[in-house]
Amino acid sequence: MSILAGLYRIVEENDNTVLIELASEDHPVFKAHFPSYPILPGFALIDIVADCLNDVIVSIKMAKFIVHVKPDDRLSLEVKRSAKGRTVQIFKNKQKVSEIRYETM
């Protein structure tokens, strides 16, 4: 079973933006990271981005995590596409929480 199973759901999407809602703190990812202060691990956020965009990540060029992402958060993934990859800025309540730049197949 994938760690992504039940971790998020897509609320809305268009060409350059995907709005997602995360699971509650009862999800196994949040129970493990960290039990007394559940936050989404950076690797899981990268996996969510790749899954939402149907991308196979070949190389991560930059990953910046600015603000903790917590259970039940709604995130907006704003995507800029290039021939070799993507730059994704992630926002929560209009505040930037992360930016990821990667190459795809």
| pTM of this structure | 0.94
Q: For the segment 49-103, what is each residue's pLDDT rounded down to a tens digit?
A: 999 999 999 999 999 999 999 999 999 999 999 998 999 999 999 999 999 999 9
Class of domain 8-104: alpha beta
Give the confidence band of 1 by pLDDT, cuts at 50, 70, 90.
low
Closest CA to 16 of 95, 93, 67, 82: 82
